[in-house]
Structure 1
Amino acid sequence: MEEEKYIGYIKYEGNLVEDGLMDARKQAQALLGFDSALRHFIGKRAPDFRNLDFEIPVRIRKGSWEALIPETVGGWVQGGLGIVATAYFTKAAQKMAEKDFSDFGITDLFKHAISAIQWFVRIGKHMGDTAIRSFENVQFLEGNTLVAIPNDSGEYLYVPKKMLDLYTSCNPKILEKIAENIEEGRELTIGTIVNGKVEEVAIYAEEKGIFCEEEAEPEEDVLFPELVHGDDVVLEGEVTRENKTSNSMGFKYEEHILTAYPESGSVVRYKPLLFLKCRLYGTVSRLDEKGSIAARRPKLYVSHLEPLESDREEDDLFR
């Protein structure tokens, strides 16, 4: 029996899924999230598909936890839609020249969609925040078909213009469902297979916050009542994220994530301290949305962050 071939996949790897097992709800969430993202990008390339109820075949494979799209996906979709799909692609074939649909077909739609998901991940990781939609100091190359976009570190990522357009027009949390399953011991990989060549992009636990909100923690009556509004404090914890848009960072203190803001300037200067243990010098705020000093969860206004990691050379960078 000939081995089935695939065009792409999502995969969770790590010691939590070595036997190919994962919680049923997490599996369902991963498949629904993958399905939703595929349909979004397919609809962008072929708008008529947005209103069609078609099936997406997926095969689950053990070893890690993989959901694979077979090369035969075109037959599945066209078979399910019957004359509707045939009529659509006959019409599309007549418009190949004006729509740039050379070698257009159902399988190509899926390949394009999986590639768009990969580029969404690459750009999100490069920028550190999927909510960023405006890019400064870009460079246009190869007849404006390729765009070089810089991040806060001055590094450039070279992105096909069509993929950048898709990125800027979609929901910043489009991969939230599949990213929520990521944790230490379970990383996510999105792969494409073209002419036998595999190309992968991964999201690791420390990058999870780029693609989904951090898990909400149950509210206590008052979290850390010893942190009193207006007090100057020195706390030890870990910087878990930084958000350029809100000019804030996450600070993990005694297993809780507190929102912290620089007292002055941009949070970008603290980016080298991401995922490091640090000593935070700052002021506690208990102001709530109404302006009362009644917030259950404190916020921190940071005057200084001191890294405690011994393997970094930036120990005095933010003094």
Structure 2
Amino acid sequence: MKEEMYLGYIKYDGPLVEDGLMDARKQAQALMGFDSAVRYFIGKMAPELQSLDFEIPVRIRKGSWEALIPETVAGWAQAGLGVVATAYFTKAAQKMAEKDFSDFGFKDIFRASLDGLKWFARIGKHMGDVSIRKFSDVRFDSSNGLIGIVNAKGEILYVPKHILDIYSQCPANILEKIAANITKGRDLVIGSIEGENLDEVTIDSSEKHIFCQDEEVEEDEILFPELEHGAEVVLEGEITRENKTSNSMGFKYNDHILTSYPENGSIVRYKHLIFSLVRLYGRVSRLDEKGRLNARRPKLIFRHLEEIRSDETYDLFNQ
């Protein structure tokens, strides 16, 4: 039987997962975070695929806890979408070629997205803060198309220019769901595989804070008191997550995550907006779990989400 080949993976490694076991909720969170992050990078590298709800197969392997994407991923995606997929993938591959990615095919788009995820972790570790998007005193390796970014210790990390362009616009919390499972005795590893070459990045418990943001509000603090119950609002923020069970989405507004619910219908039609900047049209709810006007953190009931697009090119080095 032919051994299955893989494009890349995330895994948790260490004494806590030596038997391949992990809490079911932690596993579900990791898989949802992995799926969302891979789709984000696919959408950045091949925008034609952004709004398509294709399947991403993942195999869980024991040893450490590993979630691997097989080389057959493109076939799964095409099968899930039907005949329309071929046109979309072909167009996406053409666009990739225009950006100096020669001979790109289906697998390459997925492999590139895994590379993006891995590089996000590597740059975040190097800088010690994923919110840093302006780099001074950069170095150039024009022969290899690399840009060297310098951290506070004076260390230089050379990064492909197209990766740095994407990183400059990437949501700071894109690894949060995956990194949330990191603890002492359980490290996160992100890897990509090409032929015999394996490249991976490890995030341990001392680096977890770089990728996880604290969303907790002090018990006695009323968050955004100006957002009064029943008020009609138009707010700008970022969609950070989805929860099909509660039919809700996370909306990052002024560095806090607010739970938002569609006024009508399912959140599925807004799935393509995850990790996007949007304008939310809706109203505020201060009802708590018992139906009292007592909630310290407001909820948002939205009628419409409008993606905020910019035609301006982000100039990474002239700010």
Q: Say whether 1:196 aligns with 2:196.
A: yes
RMSD: 2.0
> Do the aligned residues in 2 keep the contact of 1:180 with 1:208 (CA within 8 Å)?
yes
> Do the aligned residues in 1 keep the contact of 2:13 with 2:186 (CA within 8 Å)?
yes
Q: Where do residues 269-280 of structure 1 align in structure 2 (5 Å cutoff)?
A: none
Q: 1:160 to 1:51 in 2, by over 3 A?
A: same
Q: Say whether 1:17 aligns with 2:6.
A: no
For 2:132 and 2:32, the matched residues in 1 are separated by: 25
> Do the aligned residues in 2 keep the contact of 1:144 with 1:161 (CA within 8 Å)?
no
Deviation >4 Å, runs of 4+:
92-97, 214-221
Q: 1:51 to 1:150 in 2, by over 3 A?
A: same
Q: 1:218 to 1:185 in 2, by over 3 A?
A: farther
Give the structure 2 partner of residue 104 of structure 1. Answer: 104
Q: Where do residues 65-80 of structure 1 align in structure 2 (5 Å cutoff)?
A: 65-80=65-80
Query: What one-letter code is carried by the residue in structure 1 that aligns with 2:122?
Result: R
Alpha-carbon distance, 1:93 to partner = 5.3
Give the structure 1 partner of residue 157 of structure 2. Answer: 157
Alpha-carbon distance, 1:95 to partner = 5.2
Q: Say whether 1:130 aligns with 2:117.
A: no
Larger mean Cα displacement after TM superposition, 8-17 or 140-149 = 140-149
Deviation sequence 1:159-215 (CA, Å, 0-9, x none): 111111111111011100000000001000001111122111000000000000258
Q: Which has the larger radius of gyration?
A: 1
The answer for unaligned runs of 5 or more in structure 1 is 222-319
Give the structure 2 partner of residue 32 of structure 1. Answer: 32
Give the structure 2 partner of residue 213 of structure 1. Answer: 213
For 1:58 and 1:43, the matched residues in 2 are separated by: 19
Q: 1:70 to 1:154 in 2, by over 3 A?
A: same
Identity between Structure 1 and Structure 2 (%): 65
For 2:69 and 2:97, the matched residues in 1 are separated by: 28
For 1:161 and 1:76, the matched residues in 2 are separated by: 30
> Do the aligned residues in 2 keep the contact of 1:11 with 1:190 (CA within 8 Å)?
yes
Alpha-carbon distance, 1:138 to partner = 0.7
> Do the aligned residues in 1 keep the contact of 2:46 with 2:93 (CA within 8 Å)?
no
For 1:71 and 1:91, the matched residues in 2 are separated by: 20
Query: What one-letter code is carried by the residue in structure 2 that aligns with 1:73?
Result: V
TM-score (norm 2): 0.65
Q: Where do residues 175-194 of structure 1 align in structure 2 (5 Å cutoff)?
A: 175-194=175-194
Give secondary structure in 1 for the equivalent of 2:213.
coil
Query: What one-letter code is carried by the residue in structure 1 that aligns with 2:181?
Result: N
TM-score (norm 1): 0.65
Alpha-carbon distance, 1:145 to partner = 2.4
Q: Where do residues 245-284 of structure 1 align in structure 2 (5 Å cutoff)?
A: none
> Do the aligned residues in 1 keep the contact of 2:190 with 2:200 (CA within 8 Å)?
yes
> Do the aligned residues in 2 keep the contact of 1:21 with 1:65 (CA within 8 Å)?
yes
